[in-house]
Amino acid sequence: MPGRSPAGPAADPDLDIWRTLPIAQQPTWSEHAHYAESIAELGSRPPLVFAGEVDVLRERLAAAAQGKAFLLQGGDCAETFAGATADKISARVKTILQMAVVLTYGASMPVIKMGRMAGQFAKPRSSNDETRDGVTLPAFRGEIVNGFDFTPESRAHDPRRMVEAYNTSSSTLNLIRAFTQGGFADLRSVHSWNKGFMANPAHTAYEQLAGEIDRAVRFMDACGADFEALKRTEFFASHEALLLDYERALTRTDSRTSQPYDTSGHFLWIGERTRQLDGAHVDFLSRVRNPIGVKLGPNTTPEDALALIEKLDPNREPGRLTFITRMGAKNIREKLPNLVQKVTESGAQVLWVTDPMHGNTVTSENGYKTRKFDDVMDEVRGFFEVHDSLGTYPGGLHVEMTGDDVAECLGGADPIRQEQFDDLYESVCDPRLNHKQSLEMAFLVSGALAKRGIQS
């Protein structure tokens, strides 16, 4: 049937227009001996997500855009193949679920849970190369492109890695689905994990809130709440749609609607470095039905934002477009108001989410890429302040985090110090909040959400 190929990549020629447009941050591998076969292999594999799930997510995000839900999106800056173990995946899912319970209580509304997981393998970089001790090699661009080891073999771009990224995403997603549907996500277990966090004397400031949640759970139990239903939860997969070879090969025509869906994940975002209006990324993502995010840095003008809306969400469909602002703590109070105001005046209904990580990266005195917990929280506070003052809705949180006890970001109530980096810094790209810092952030944001609830 013309234009319809449910078993392989969608055939619509418009899905290839991006190939004629300027494109940033791509690997140099089109002449590689294994390029064509790797793309063909991906094209023959089953979709990772079902288009119906993607539609459900769009509805959930529409509710968030209307101030009736809150998005929690978190995970590694860069997933790795070796890091896709049961322990690490379960720790990350567990931490996101723990954060979500705390946020649900504060917001008194549903929290949409989404991992930067099962596909977050491609990284845009500031520089094409990296030099160490006088040796210059291609920069690490995420394991879907090349290896982290600093050798010429490892840093060579290899398209076969796309198939490995697909396989790793598939097994990660399988485990996420098992955890979130098979009883692991039971509200009572999640709540009891949070009691472990409270046992740390550093966290006494959160005792009142934790106590309130505890009473709420016991109250629900006493009322005979259906805890069976609370044993399962929705959980969505997302990543930056940077590597268009991969995204295109996994784009399928949905047999129900005949529309193209990028089945590599439920939600895809365009990064700050690839959001050029006439560039390949904006064009390609404008043509798939998934909900789309765009990162907006401090230099974004209201005109840029309005033009992105016009291209990516011409029908002004709630849930279609999320703006993920990453201004930096120093800029947010100055830069965000004008943007939100002009977008709101235009009548567009986007979902506003804060990424308090990427505008707050610094280098520690001992040479590690890091972020201060206080700066991160300051940006989150600024985000809430701006939306409060404009009467708009701060609809979500996008964080680089892990469930493990790493030392990558500085500070927190049980503070991480730079001396710990040599032993406990594991990220292959940006620094992540560790398990405790992530939960602490959830308690702080929950408090902010609860205050809004009382005000409204």
Ligand X SMILES: O=C[C@H](O)[C@H](O)COP(=O)(O)O
Ligand Y SMILES: C=C(OP(=O)(O)O)C(=O)O
By the rule CB under 6 A, 368 interacts with ligand X? no
Of the candidate spans 24-32, 289-297, 334-342, 429-437, the one that interacts with Mn ion by CB under 5 A turns out to be 429-437
Is residue 409 a known part of a binding site?
no
- Distance between CA atoms of residues 148 and 357, nearest Å: 22
Is residue 400 a known part of a binding site?
yes
- Distance between CA atoms of residues 404 and 388, nearest Å: 34
**Residue 124 or 260 with smaller CB distance to Mn ion:** 124
Minimal distance in Å, beta carbon 139 to Mn ion?
14
Angle, vertex CA 239, rays to CA 236 and CA 244, nearest 5: 130
- Distance between CA atoms of residues 238 and 57, nearest Å: 11
By the rule CB under 6 A, 326 interacts with ligand Y? yes
- Distance between CA atoms of residues 145 and 142, nearest Å: 6
Q: Mapped to the 3 state alphabet, what secondary structure does 350-399 carry?
A: CEEEECCCCCCCEECCCCCEECEHHHHHHHHHHHHHHHHHHCCCEEEEEE
**Residue 64 or 242 with smaller CB distance to ligand X:** 242
Residue number, nearest CB to ligand X: 126
Instruction: Identify the sign of the CA torsion 399, 405, 409, 414.
Output: positive
> DSSP secondary-structure letter at 77?
S
Rule CB under 5 A: choose which of 10, 71, 77, 399 binds Mn ion: 77
Cβ atoms within 10 A of the Cβ of 20, count? 9
The answer to whether the CB of 90 falls within 8 A of the CB of 403 is yes
Q: Could you give the string, one character per residue 104-143, with x where binding to ligand X holds by CB under 6 A and - elsewhere? A: -------------------xxxx-----------------
* Three-state secondary-structure class, residue 214: helix
**Residue 141 or 358 with smaller CB distance to ligand Y:** 358
Minimal distance in Å, beta carbon 260 to Mn ion?
28
Residues between 65 and 84 that touch ligand X (CB under 6 A): 77
Residue number, nearest CB to ligand Y: 271
By the rule CB under 5 A, 143 interacts with Mn ion? no
Rule CB under 6 A: choose which of 51, 61, 77, 100 binds ligand Y: 77
By the rule CB under 6 A, 281 interacts with ligand Y? no
Rule CB under 6 A: choose which of 124, 142, 394, 395 binds ligand Y: 124
Taking each helix axis from N to C terminus, what angle separates 86-107 and 207-222, rounded to the nearest 10 degrees?
90
Rule CB under 6 A: choose which of 146, 430, 436, 445 binds ligand X: 430
**Binding footprint of ligand Y on the chain (CB under 6 A):** 77, 124, 240, 271-273, 295, 326, 355, 358
